[in-house]
Amino acid sequence: MAASLQGKHIALLATDGMEELEYTQPREAVENAGATAELVSLRPGTIQGYNYLEKSKSYDVDITVAEADPDRYDALVLPGGVANGDFVRADREAVAFVRSFFDAGKPVGVICHGGWALVEADVVAGRTLTSWPSLRTDLTNAGATWVDEPVHTDNGLVSSRKPDDLPAFCAKIIEEFAEGRH
């Protein structure tokens, strides 16, 4: 029987340049499991999704990170995309938002370049995770152990490498988000 996320609120933190599939598939997965998902972003309006380096669809922002209360959410998803990961890690409010989930022991799912926000939030030391291979040095310099696996879980932190890993990533975030705080 699939885990239920009924009654849970999930934040997906992204901005322009997010890898579209790494946003849409996790969002669909948590919503199909019964959760309410919200797109939290750096500014109001819409954000531009990408399919690698090609523009794809735009997505409506539900709430800005400045307005979002982390206590309202049960879990966090950080989609990838090179520009997205870079913009999110450079935003102080976004980094504080990310850190708050770790401080509260809430589960977090991160894929691809989303891991840059974790480095900036100073939450990877002593953890094992995976990412897009180009983040390996950044993650290890921040104290993480990097592994090349489709999905890896470390005490509520679910990480994946790329869009090809989305089926395993989505299944694992549902499981971890259903378990709740770690």
What does the alpha-carbon distance between residue 150 and residue 159 come to, in Å, rounded to a whole number?
8
pLDDT given at position 40 = 98
pLDDT given at position 182 = 83
Cβ-based neighbour number of residue 15 at 10 Å: 24
Determine whether 113 is an active site residue. yes
- Residues 105-152: tens digit of each pLDDT: 999 999 999 999 999 999 999 999 999 999 999 999 999 999 999 999
What does the alpha-carbon distance between residue 144 and residue 146 come to, in Å, rounded to a whole number?
6
Structure-token match 């152990």, residue found:
145
| pTM assigned to the model | 0.97
DSSP summary character for residue 55: E
Q: One of 9, 113, 152, 182 is an active-site residue; which one?
A: 113
Sort 172 into a burial class: Cβ within 10 Å, 0-12 / 13-18 / 19+. buried
pLDDT given at position 1 = 52
Q: Domain residues of the chain, as ranges?
A: 9-178
Q: Which residues of the chain have pLDDT under 70?
A: 1
What kind of fold does domain 9-178 have according to CATH?
A: Rossmann fold (3.40.50)
